[in-house]
Structure 1
Amino acid sequence: MRRNFLLLIFILFHGAVGAQNAELKTSAEASFKAGDYYQAIPLLQKVVKQAPKDFESWNMLAESLYHSRNHKKAANAYEHLVQLIGNDKELRNEHYLSYLYYGNSLMAVQDYDGAKEIYLMFLRLKPQAQNYRDLKRIANAKIRSCSEAQKIMQDGYVGEFIIEKLPETVNGSYSDFGPVWKDQSTLLFTSLRSDSLITVEDHEEFPAVNQIYMTRKSSEEWDTPELVDEYNNDLFHSANGTFSKDGKSFAFSVCQENDQHEVRCDVYVSYKKHNTWTKPEKLKNGINKGSYTSTQPAFGYYSRRGFTTEILYFASDRPGGKGGMDIWYSARSKRGDWAAPVNCGSAVNSSGNEITPFYDSDTQTLYFSSDYHFGLGGYDVFKAFGGLKSFRRPENLGAAVNTGFDDTYFSWRVSESNGTLVSNRSEEGAVFGENCCDDIFYFTKQMVMEIPAIVINADSVPLAEATVALRVQGTEASDTASVMLQTEKKGTFTIRHLQDQNIEVAASKMGYENTFMDISRDSYPDTVILVMNKKTEQKEIETITEVKPLALTDKSLNVKELKKGTVLVMEHIYFEFGASDIQEGALKDIDILEKFLSANPTIKIEIAGHTDSKGDEKLNQELSQERADAIRRYLIEKGIDADRLKAVGYGEEKPIAPNENPDGSDNEAGRKLNRRTEVVILEN
């Protein structure tokens, strides 16, 4: 997995594939075992198409997609595999890793409920594997991450960072990573520069390697990147550079792939003397260790008791760590010698992997990425205040920065203002398809204001778990997006917004009237207090019994006099969750309606879409509108005059049954009644 992340996985083509499925599978398996996942994927796709019950091939396909970070397709392949294995205990235990990877892929696409279910399945397995105990700890942490993900997304203000992918001048078709700013306009980064597929023949002794490039931004344009000859070698990978504060030292990784397709890196440094860079030399004193990896160096400076010490942070999988890749550091003495490395400690490092350190000396904060600490999926960016081996608990930078995919190499260009990060979130321009390759993104941090707020009832008692919606007026993006959160135990929440924004706040809770408040940018209050009044019992009854619809059937439509306002429910209208495509089972009701309208050309109707109260209110309204529009289009295509058809999406606005029980639990029967499509007679 690190190999995919740190360096490009090269593609080896082994010759023609035979026509027979057995030969095809043999070739695919050879590529898979060699780690040539991009070569294996198309072969395995052909194999499973010809042999859809071949679970071994499904496993290889799923794992190939997983390691190439195509998590959408990996999740689909793992779903097929799990279905094929079924309840066969022996096969389930044999493929125990598949369940863990399946959960990881679901997290990447932010299906947290689905991921949690798969992780629980993984924990119920009993494989005879030495690493299963460690992996159980990881799975338990992932389950907690799934539960925390929604809270992480609520806690951060999504507009805090404006993030833009650097242009194709910088980002090529392969992975581009390891950005480091030499000055305000000069960026160094690591890349394999090619706009087409690079193939490596078996007989080639020296394949293409990643190298360090430099580009400058002049006006609004980026110059064509140029090789930095001082740091590169034609035989080895050069990557992940970092400059010292005075600009006279440049540390970077030199890496090589061994026969087992494992990448091993060492940290080298070059010094600037008389305006010339010295030949890079491998750092000593244990910074580089035998057959283990030392990589992604980052210079930092730690001040204490009036003394400032130069520190080199780096990532390594050496013994003595907490598990996987850890962040280590080495302090430089006044004589210029680097001390033996020390682990940054359990506050930062975990049983998983911690990588791509960056130390902001101005704020004494370490930024790094982890696939273990509670996050949104894949690698998330975290920050921890402190230095050396004494850090506070890391904080997730939230949904303003992180996604379900791998987000790494966070670094400031100007502290607390702007900088760069690396992610495979983008699906555009990559040579191998979705999310295979890393790109460099530029971010700008916005000034976020915070207003403390509380929800109380008429007796001034705080209301916990009230749902609060925030809507920002004034920008195109904010007009179409709502932030949803819940109040804490003491009824409190925080309104986060950019300066000079008008904000709409709405609060709702079972048994209470909805409460609204507008906050003007001209007079931000010190504290926002939302008071909610209890609903009267009569109002709740009216909500439930307000509409008494008839089922839409041939019989109901044969009623001699359908009065204006008559409501008929289309009971067989089915939509996939979150989708507006008409399913086959819905056509019966729609065809009945079409025949009725054709036989009664004076009747005009409203097609009304309704949802239950799950999910975001605005999104529910939009989805119900799309569903009503889909039915209207179908009837128009059948020849019904468009002027006779009105489509309206009401979302969750008009329930005919309670969505929740009195104790606050889901009323599934009520929700089912509320998820309906109605026909309302407008004119007869």
Structure 2
Amino acid sequence: MYKYLIILLLLTHAAYAQDVEFSKDHFGNDKDGLKAALRELKQGDEWYLNDPPRYEQALPHYLEAQKFNANNAELNLKIGDCYLHSGYKPRALAYLQKAYKLNADVDPRIHYLLGRGLHLNAKWKEAIVEYKAAQPAAGGKNTAAFMTNIRKKITECENGQKLMQKPSRVFIDNAGPGVNSPYADYGPVISADESVILFTSRRNNSTGGQNDPETGGFFEDIYQSTRTSTGWSPARNLGAPVNTEGHDATVGLAPDGQRMLVYVEDNGGDLQESNLRGATWGKPQKLGSRINSKYHESSAAFTPNGRNLYFVSDKEGGLGSRDIYQIEIEGRGPAQNVGSVINTPYGEEGVFLHPDGKTMYFSSEGHNSMGGYDIFKSVLENGKWSEPENLGWPINTPDDDVFFVISASGRHGYYSSFRDDGLGSKDIYQITFLGPEKPPVLSQEDQLLASRAQPVKEALLAPPVPIASAQVTILKGVVTDEATKQPLEATIDVIDNQRNEVIASFRANAQSGRYLVSLPSGVNYGIVVRQEGYLFHSENFDLPSGAAYSEVVKDIALKKLEVGVKVVLNNIFFDFDKATLRKESTSELERLQKLLTETPALRLEISGHTDNVGNAAYNKDLSQRRAKAVVDYLIGKGIDKGRLTFAGYGDTQPVAPNTNKQGRQLNRRTEFKVTGK
């Protein structure tokens, strides 16, 4: 009896695992259904066997045929193969496993395909077993390349095992319906303060309204959304002239959100730049032959000062299939490969430079990738890039993870991914970095319980561990006319006071007057806001090395040149308790000299002011000597002394309360007043 039971079980298993053909022998009672299924198979094969294969178009036909017959090994293998070439690669595994179960000899590639399916589902150990069982095609000419690929895939699985054991502490959340749609949404770029996001999408309201003949989807267009108190606003299509009837994709955005880098399918793939004037993005302009070539330039990022560009190209002479290059935009020299610390023998992509000016994020198929492209981080220290650090699981996955950007604060990152909670085929996600885990510590106090004779020690969580923040300050606000309150398209110069050098220039938005400046730590900055017909306005930000991230909102009202108008010179510096001008004052003094030279009738009073700390008489004398030092400098530069007077007011004209450090700092100042014009 037992023997017959074993035979019955084996027969039952064999029946379940039988490879069922699409034939009259199996489906003679449903001729119409068989006919329809064969038609779907034929249509699917036309796409699948195309050169190159059109997996996305073949898949829906195969899935329809599979509804009729779910137990055909070859069909399950084809469905799995199609999924391996789609955005939903992990779905391939179930079909590939079924194909193998139905017929272990279904295809010579079966072990490799199973390895890929397991790999993409983070089943590292099982994937390694299948990769090791994979064999190159019989009589094939690329055996060496195949085995090299197998070894790399095994290494990726080993990397994945290690990285998954120490996952990154993050939340990954869908960016929501304001940004995402039922269509593919990807390639996000953000302003430094996360107030604006632009991205690429294949929606049905694309500018050309046409379908891509290669993929069947709509052509790419660029969309924009702004952050509100409740999330992202409904994204709007930028329209012409940014979007055209062809493919238009986001690549990069300057920290202030006023300059955008665009990818267009021209000359093999080129980079262009569009500038924001008011609320309208201008027609993208080519970046020139020093950046674009006959090869494929696919992604790029501005440095915070807007003067340099990092970009990706597959041009000849690189270290791998795609490399990252750096170039001075207005210079004359050729682009420079960033070197072998960053670039590998494989592909690099999706370069992004953090607003701190020294931290690069990029994707790579090399280094310790766990599969496809992983996102890495490297820091420029003493002129050299640090060893790239994998951002880890679950940010990185066994599939391609590309085009990652991060806010100036370092708190939020953005990228696109295929996930189960997606609203469409591909969605944009926000990553929230949580920082290091808080270790448990024993409380110093005993917890007394009435039922115990002895006190019980209770393990309590340690105080919160501070999250390491980026070393950058974001200065933003609105520039207006002081009298009319109307916004001004002013120029904002960023000066390194120590070197007396303008290191960056930006413009406030023509319509809103809004501006944003990224200031990496480690520099004494002079900020000068200027507009024709107005007196300049200056601010000072002395940011020591290691200064943590902060956002400063500073609205600036420019004053027209009128008698009686006062302007504070925030970048005039003196030695402590002396009237000796420091060299960091040079840029501000030169601006004042230029103002007097360009306006020959202008007459000024230079005044010094102090807080109320110390002896009033001494403060007045010190403030007067400092004002005189400025006048003496200007006279020494050729300004007629009859146009200048000086005065020391000590603590008699405060502009803020002397009750706190910030107020006293504001009261210690040098300013000028227009006495004639």
TM-score band, normalised by shorter chain: 0.5 to 0.7
Whole-angstrom CA distance in 1 between matches of 2:91 and 2:464:
47
Q: Percent identity?
A: 26
Match of 2:198 among 179, 188, 191: 188
SS in 2 for 1:142: helix
Matched, 1:169 2:178: yes
- 1:542-563 CA-to-partner distances (Å, cap 9, x unmatched) read xxxxxxxxxxxxxxxxxxxxxx
Aligned residue in 2 for 1:68: 86
Shift of 1:280: 1.3
Shift of 1:331: 0.9
- In structure 2, the CA distance between the partners of 1:22 and 1:522, relative to structure 1 (3 Å rule), is closer
Alignment of 1:568-647 (within 5 A): none
Shift of 1:272: 5.1
Matched, 1:27 2:69: no
SS in 1 for 2:56: helix
Alignment of 1:451-466 (within 5 A): none
Matched, 1:37 2:25: no
Shift of 1:203: 9.8
Shift of 1:18: 9.6
Whole-angstrom CA distance in 2 between matches of 1:135 and 1:332:
40
Matched, 1:283 2:287: yes
Matched, 1:293 2:296: yes
Alignment of 1:49-448 (within 5 A): 57-82=75-100, 86=104, 92=108, 95=109, 99-122=111-134, 124-125=135-136, 127-129=138-140, 131-156=142-167, 158=168, 160-182=169-191, 183-194=193-204, 208-229=218-239, 232-245=242-255, 247-255=257-265, 265-271=269-275, 277-290=281-294, 292-300=295-303, 310-324=307-321, 326-332=322-328, 336-337=330-331, 339-362=333-356, 364-386=358-380, 391-430=385-424, 437-448=425-436
- In structure 2, the CA distance between the partners of 1:447 and 1:274, relative to structure 1 (3 Å rule), is closer
Whole-angstrom CA distance in 2 between matches of 1:524 and 1:164:
23
Whole-angstrom CA distance in 1 between matches of 2:380 and 2:220:
33
Whole-angstrom CA distance in 2 between matches of 1:202 and 1:522:
56
Contact 2:324–2:351 (CA under 8 A) maintained in structure 1: no
Aligned residue in 1 for 2:666: none
- 1:521-575 CA-to-partner distances (Å, cap 9, x unmatched) read 35899xxxxxxxxxxxxxxxxxxxxxxxxxxxxxxxxxxxxxxxxxxxxxxxxxx
Contact 2:160–2:398 (CA under 8 A) maintained in structure 1: no
Whole-angstrom CA distance in 2 between matches of 1:137 and 1:389:
34
Whole-angstrom CA distance in 2 between matches of 1:293 and 1:18:
47
- 1:649-682 CA-to-partner distances (Å, cap 9, x unmatched) read xxxxxxxxxxxxxxxxxxxxxxxxxxxxxxxxxx
Contact 1:252–1:295 (CA under 8 A) maintained in structure 2: no
Q: Which amino acid aligns with 1:137?
A: T
SS in 1 for 2:260: strand
Q: Which amino acid aligns with 2:153?
A: K
Contact 1:345–1:390 (CA under 8 A) maintained in structure 2: no
- In structure 2, the CA distance between the partners of 1:233 and 1:120, relative to structure 1 (3 Å rule), is same
Shift of 1:115: 1.0
- In structure 2, the CA distance between the partners of 1:114 and 1:500, relative to structure 1 (3 Å rule), is closer
SS in 1 for 2:315: coil
- In structure 2, the CA distance between the partners of 1:204 and 1:403, relative to structure 1 (3 Å rule), is closer
Whole-angstrom CA distance in 1 between matches of 2:197 and 2:458:
44
Whole-angstrom CA distance in 1 between matches of 2:383 and 2:114:
34
Whole-angstrom CA distance in 2 between matches of 1:68 and 1:19:
28
- In structure 2, the CA distance between the partners of 1:383 and 1:427, relative to structure 1 (3 Å rule), is same
Q: What is the count of residue pairs matched by the alignment? A: 417
Whole-angstrom CA distance in 1 between matches of 2:213 and 2:296:
27
Aligned residue in 1 for 2:630: none
Aligned residue in 2 for 1:659: none
SS in 2 for 1:295: strand
- In structure 2, the CA distance between the partners of 1:358 and 1:102, relative to structure 1 (3 Å rule), is farther
Shift of 1:337: 4.2
Contact 1:138–1:372 (CA under 8 A) maintained in structure 2: no
Q: TM-score, normalised by structure 1?
A: 0.53
Contact 2:47–2:58 (CA under 8 A) maintained in structure 1: yes
Shift of 1:210: 1.4
Contact 1:270–1:279 (CA under 8 A) maintained in structure 2: yes
SS in 2 for 1:163: strand
Shift of 1:66: 0.9
Shift of 1:67: 0.9
Q: Which amino acid aligns with 2:183?
A: Y
Whole-angstrom CA distance in 1 between matches of 2:176 and 2:278:
35
- In structure 2, the CA distance between the partners of 1:65 and 1:222, relative to structure 1 (3 Å rule), is same
Shift of 1:166: 0.8
Whole-angstrom CA distance in 1 between matches of 2:246 and 2:427:
22
- 1:564-608 CA-to-partner distances (Å, cap 9, x unmatched) read xxxxxxxxxxxxxxxxxxxxxxxxxxxxxxxxxxxxxxxxxxxxx
Shift of 1:378: 4.3
Aligned residue in 1 for 2:460: 520
Contact 1:248–1:272 (CA under 8 A) maintained in structure 2: yes
- In structure 2, the CA distance between the partners of 1:136 and 1:195, relative to structure 1 (3 Å rule), is farther
- 1:39-89 CA-to-partner distances (Å, cap 9, x unmatched) read 31132235567677876544432221111133333123333455677469x
RMSD over equivalenced CA pairs, Å: 4.2
Whole-angstrom CA distance in 2 between matches of 1:27 and 1:406:
29
- 1:228-262 CA-to-partner distances (Å, cap 9, x unmatched) read 23663332111123223465532111137xxxxxx
Q: TM-score, normalised by structure 2?
A: 0.53
- In structure 2, the CA distance between the partners of 1:84 and 1:524, relative to structure 1 (3 Å rule), is closer
Whole-angstrom CA distance in 2 between matches of 1:36 and 1:358:
32
Contact 1:244–1:250 (CA under 8 A) maintained in structure 2: yes
SS in 1 for 2:269: strand
Shift of 1:20: 5.7
Q: Which runs of 5+ in 2 are unaligned?
A: 1-32, 444-456, 466-677
* Bigger Rg over Cα: 2
Shift of 1:118: 1.8
